[in-house]
Amino acid sequence: MKFNFNIFNILIVITFLLIPLNVISSDKILHRGNGAEPDTLDPHLATGHWEGSIINDIFVGLFTKGEDGSSIKGSVDNYSKSDNGLVYTFNLRKDHFWSDGIKVTAEDYVNGFRRVLNPETASQYGSLLYLIKNAYDVNSGKLKPESLGVKEISEFTLEITLNYPAPYFEELLTHYTTYPIPSHIINKYGKEWIKPKNIVTNGPYKLKSWRAHDHISLRRNQLFYDNENVWYNEVKYYPTEDNEAALRRFRAGELDINSGYPENRTSWLKKNMPNNIKIDNILVVTYLIFNTQLTPFDDPKVRRAVSLSIDRDVIVNKIRGFNETIAWSLVPKGIKNYDYEELIEERVLSQEERYLLAKDILNESGYNEQNPLSFSLKYRQGGDQKKHMVAIQSMLRNSGINVVLEGYEPKVLYNYLRTGDFQVGDAGWIADFNDASNFLFLFQQSSGPLNYGKYKNPVFDNLVDEALSELDVETRAKKLKEAENILIKDMPFAPILFGISRWLVKEDIAGWKTNYSAYHPTRFLRPK
């Protein structure tokens, strides 16, 4: 076939001009250090923040995280709620597609919520959704998933009925546990649906490849409803558990962003790379968790002695030095509709006085130089945690307590915690939503595997439940405070600090805003 070469050239030029500029370049790649290696990218099975970072790039729920961590509309076009605050009706946008071109519908959400709460799924975060009607009974196997208070009214209309009004509900819907699933793909591939060759997503990116312990590559989803405002064509996430190594890679230009930097290099970084360090003042608590089902940590007095033996001032102000806050309670500062209060009475004592008190308690419990309290402490091996744990090990010796340290990768450690395979563990919690209940629920029996230490106190449980169904804000806060006071007296955990999230970020990246969730979706980032 013959054709006019000049006409062909003209057509090529016209085609080129019609393609948006941000679609042409193939080298617009963002390299992100992300802490641990993910176990899964299934939003209903993921448990780690390092997984959530990637999931929030490839999936979108009814609402999603904005630049500053606040909730913004995702699938939702508009919504309404009943006068009693129990029934939400969501009208979905009709331009939201899965990456294979199938529209995101109300049915995808119904199936998603049912899947999370189906006990066969074994979702670790199912208890987050117990505010939904019949959710607890579905999750415990008492009712079928079809009885869940989530209904498809029409193809693009979703109704969710709650057990009690929840002022944080919109924010909760930004959590990946509430994300929809592509039923047509899961029905076809089952558990294999999450593999790169099978998966479809509905977020700004889709999964391109996954090289275990090397990197995960995401490709921009051209069908995403806000694709025109997404700049990077590709994102590569790298596991970077060693912050020293990550810093070297960052300085060498191999990483554009890393979720952490070495504590011992803070002063140097502030002096030499001040424009590259970013800090998020997040709602997070770091603590030691006791397995209350095992002797001797079934005794609150022993747990208290361990807590008294931790010199929090040294850890926070001398070892870390990030302007963090010593934790004398569970619920951190900055929680909405809740007055922060330091609840551990012994905070007013000097550390030497705390050591003496700890020794007295241990003596009363039968522990002394001839029979010292001894236990293993499992901790997160990544980052700078070992330094903290070694310090705690030394501190506890001052009270006559012997500790054997066992370091594990974060995901391995949290598996031990969820299964109860530990004596004392190193743990932390970042708020899923801004409410005190999101911290207190961790110690309710109904929280299942998230109640790592298997703490049991019916009075505590009932107070939290009563607070959640309370309409009056002040009364609600009062009940939650009563519950927190019970928790502190029983001490199934030893709070250590309210932390921050620290980052390395290239100077030429725009769109980076601090937020309490510590999620920084790639869709909002671009070069300056």
348-366 pLDDT, tens digit per residue, is 999 999 999 999 999 999 9
Domain 284-498 has CATH 3.10.105.10: yes
Taking only the tens place, the pLDDT of each residue in 216-274 is 999 999 999 999 999 999 999 999 988 999 999 999 999 999 999 988 888 899 999 99
Q: What is the pLDDT of residue 4?
A: 38
| Pairing of β 257-258 and β 29-33 | parallel
Kindly report the average pLDDT of the chain as a whole number: 92
Element (H, E) at 410: helix 410-419
Mean pLDDT lowest among 49-53, 75-79, 147-151, 234-238: 49-53
The set of long-range contacts for 189-196, using a CB threshold of 8 Å and a minimum separation of 24, is 194/40, 194/41, 194/42
The set of long-range contacts for 509-513, using a CB threshold of 8 Å and a minimum separation of 24, is 509/256, 509/257, 511/67, 512/278, 513/67, 513/68, 513/69
- Give the other-Cβ count within 10 Å of 7's Cβ: 9
Region(s) of the chain under CATH 3.90.76.10: 60-194
Region(s) of the chain under CATH 3.40.190.10: 205-280+501-527
Query: Cα dist. 303→13, 240, 424 in Å?
Result: 73, 34, 10
DSSP reduced 3-state for 405: strand
Separation between Cα atoms, residue 58 and residue 99, nearest integer Å: 10
Region(s) of the chain under CATH 3.10.105.10: 284-498
Separation between Cα atoms, residue 78 and residue 90, nearest integer Å: 6
Omega of the bond leading into 495 within 30 degrees of 0 (cis): no
Residues 6+ apart with CB under 8 A from 12: none
Residue by residue, DSSP assigns 326-347 as: E-SSSSPTT-TT-------GGG
- Cα 252 vs. chain centroid, distance in angstroms? 29
Tell me phi and psi for residue 73, to 5 degrees: -65, 140
Give, to the nearest 10 degrees, the angle between helix 300-308 and helix 473-490: 90
What is the Cα gyration radius of the chain?
25
Separation between Cα atoms, residue 319 and residue 222, nearest integer Å: 46
**What would the CATH number be for the domain defined by 205-280+501-527?**
3.40.190.10
Strand partners, 205: 220
Six-digit token string for 289 = 């968790």
The maximal CA–CA distance of the chain, rounded, in angstroms, is 99
Tell me phi and psi for residue 161, to 5 degrees: -110, 130
% pLDDT > 90, the chain? 84
Query: Cα dist. 298→292, 442, 451, 491 in Å?
Result: 4, 18, 15, 10
Residues 6+ apart with CB under 8 A from 226: 204, 523
Taking only the tens place, the pLDDT of each residue in 315-348 is 999 988 888 999 999 999 999 999 999 999 999 9
For 51, how many CA atoms within 13 A lie in the half-sphere containing its CB? 16
> Does 7 have pLDDT greater than 60?
no
Instruction: Name the band, by pLDDT with cuts 50, 70 and 90, for residue 385.
Output: confident
Cβ atoms of 165 and 85 closer than 8 Å: yes
CATH topology of domain 60-194: Dipeptide-binding Protein; domain 1 (3.90.76)
Separation between Cα atoms, residue 154 and residue 178, nearest integer Å: 19
Taking only the tens place, the pLDDT of each residue in 146-177 is 999 999 999 999 999 999 999 899 999 999 99
Cβ atoms of 267 and 388 closer than 8 Å: no
Tell me phi and psi for residue 124, to 5 degrees: -70, -25
